[in-house]
Structures are given as structure tokens and as C-alpha cells.
Amino acid sequence: MPLTDVFCRNAKPAEKPQKISDGGGLFLLIEPRGSKLWRLAYRFHGKQKTLALGIYPAVSLKDARDHRDRAKELLARGIDPGEHKKQETRKKRLEAGNTFETVAREWFDAQKAGWTEGYADRILRRLEADIFKVIGRRPINEIEPPELLDAIRQIEKRGAVVLARRLMQVSGQVFRYAIASGLATRDPSQDIRGALRSAGPKKHRTALKEADLPEFLSTLEAYQGDRKTILALKLVLHTFLRTSEVRFGLWSEFEALGGDRALWRIPAERMKARAEHLVPITPQVEQILTELKRLSGDSPYILPAKTINGVISQNTLIYAIYKMGYHSKATVHGLRGTASTILNEHGFNRDWIERQLAHAERDGVRAAYNSAEWLPDRRKMLIWWSNYIEMTAHTGR
């Protein structure tokens, strides 16, 4: 006789386990301690087996019968319901372990060797701050486009439209890594590309014009902040280097100082383009380095500071420019643009300028270049540029 819910609820334990049948192999096993367990007896390839279906009343009589019927369907298709259940359990455990955050950190570890330290740090911090907190704990293979879009929308609401688009691209790279690793089957970032807000026209970093340079140099020399900060800004202006490339400069990277072939050899891992970069040292730059050496003491860095990284912070130089009264008028990166514009206007070879700026070559064929390419010509150009800066600072022309 089929079981009823009233019977299941009121059934009492005995000294020995009791098996009370419901039909079709389904039975309720009542343990001496009072536990009531659903079990399904079945045969597969002539072998008697038992499948656990849950505990009563957490699994109701109706639910137990539904489980029995699904097991029967599997048997009819030649599938062992016990093995099927084990595979589904393993799959769920695997998916639970392969959350978006877990896979993203695995992707990050695989990619960071090709990035500068600063860039890698920014990518990870952005993921932690804006993406992980929304979808980080979700199994990566279950994330749908609306979930990813919700995370991106929260960034857009802050007005960080460019960052939102960048993180959507980064998320897409994580999903594609998961697909290649067999952890996901699709990339939901492709489905939300048209749903993002427009970033608007590209804004170029503010750069000083040639006519503005005399006043800027005068203001820089009169700046009452830390002397190392002034010297660091001068290094950027004279060498065209990026902020991070100057900040993390090491004394061991300099060669032949004091001679006419003085050189700053920056290793590939510190350059944005991931290629070694050579900077000819002019007499003016050597004067800056001489003063920095006195200020840096025994530190291996040219710009040491009591920070986590052991060098001046990322914002030190831009904050100095703001304090000098150049907020919205100039940026550290813009000083590179100022140098490029003036040198181009004075007829210097564009290739020399671009190589000195260490811009990555878009043409893949031309990208593999010798770090010493046009070095004598670049040295002459930088000597002219340092003399020009010195003359501008002294004469105000």
C-alpha cells in the first residue's frame, strides 16, 4: 500500500531499522534513533543498488516520488541514477570552486608577467573594488549578461564611464580564459557591449604650449615642496619618461656617468611597451642625478620615500603640479606631449621623438626594434632639448 504523509510523520522507530515501501522501489527507512531516510532500490546491469534520496520531512513524500520517477527515466535511458547523482554533485562542487573571482585571479597570475608592476596593481585593485563584490562569488559558468551589466552599471553611476568600459573588456578576457580552460562556455561581455554608456570624445591629457614653458619652469624652480619632487619633474621633462619609469628608477640602471656616452638603461619589465629603453643622459640630467644622489643616500632608488613601494607615491608629481597652480592646465604625462610638440615644430625626426617617448609601434613588423635604434641621433636631440629648457628657464624666452 502506498505511503501517506500522515503515516510518514507519525511512524515511530523500533529496535531495528524498518523499511516501509511506497512502491516502485521507493521506501522509507526508519532508523532506531528516529531518522527517516528515503531510499530507492533498483537494479542496473543485473546488479542490485540503493540510491539515497534525502531525509524526511526535509524531502517530502511528493519530492521523494518525483526523485524516484526521474531515476526511472534515467534507467530507461540506460543511465545509472547513482552514478549520475555523483557526477552532478562533482559538477556542482567544481562550479562552486570556479567562481568568477577564483578564475579572474588565475587569469591575472597568468598575465601579470607581461605587464608593468603598476599596471598589474591597478587591474587587480579595480577588479577587487568593482567586479568581485558583485559577481565574484558566482560560478563563472552561470553568470548571465544582466549580472555582468549590473556590475558595470554601478561603475557608470559614479561617472567613471571609461573605467566601466575598461573593466567590461577585462571581464571579457577573464571569461575567454575560462572558456579556453574548459570552465565556461560563453562570454557574456559580448552581449552587453551595446548597452554601455558612450565614453564621449577622447580627452587628451593637458599639455603646456611652448609659450607657457618659461613661466612653468620659473614656477617649478620656486616651488616650496620637497626638492626630490622638483628634480623628479625635471627628469620627466628632460627625458620624456613616464611617471612610473622615473619613480622606480634605480642607480644600477645608469652607465658611463660623467662621460659623453652616459646612458640610462631601463629594463623591459619597467617599461609600458615591455621592451628595454635607452635614455641618453645630457649634462643637465647628470646635474639632476648628482643632486638626487646626495638626497637618496644609500638607497638603491633615485627617488626613495617611506612608502609601501619604497619610492615616492604615484600622485606626488601631479599633486605638486596642482599646488603650483597648474590644475587643469598641465599634467605630468602632458610634459611628454609638450616636449614632442616642440621638437616636432623645430624639425626633429618624428621617428627619433617616438622612439624616445618609448611608444609601442602599432605595426607588428616594425615593433621588434633594437633598443639602441637611432641612439646617436636621439642623444643629439636630447642635448638640444636640455639646452633649450635651460635657456628658456634662464631667459624666459
Q: From 143, 155, 152, select the one nearest 99 (Cα to Cα).
A: 143
* CA distances in angstroms from 278 to 57, 219, 245, 249, 265, listed in the order given: 75, 30, 12, 13, 5
41 in Cβ contact with 31 (< 8 Å)? no
Q: 67 an active-site residue?
A: no
188: cell is 557574456
Contacts of residue 258, defined as CB under 8 A and 6 or more positions apart, other chains included, come to 286
Catalytic residue among 67, 242, 247, 379: 242
Q: From 179, 110, 108, 181, select the one nearest 143 (Cα to Cα).
A: 179
Catalytic residue among 176, 186, 274, 333: 333
Q: 49 an active-site residue?
A: no
Catalytic residue among 84, 126, 272, 274: 272
Catalytic residue among 119, 204, 369, 397: 369
Q: 177 an active-site residue?
A: no
Catalytic residue among 336, 355, 378, 379: 336
Q: 333 an active-site residue?
A: yes
Judged by DSSP in three states, 29 sits in: strand
Length of the chain: 397
Catalytic residue among 85, 274, 329, 359: 359
* Cα-Cα-Cα-Cα dihedral sign, residues 196, 201, 206, 207: positive
Residues annotated as part of the active site: 242, 272, 333, 336, 359, 369
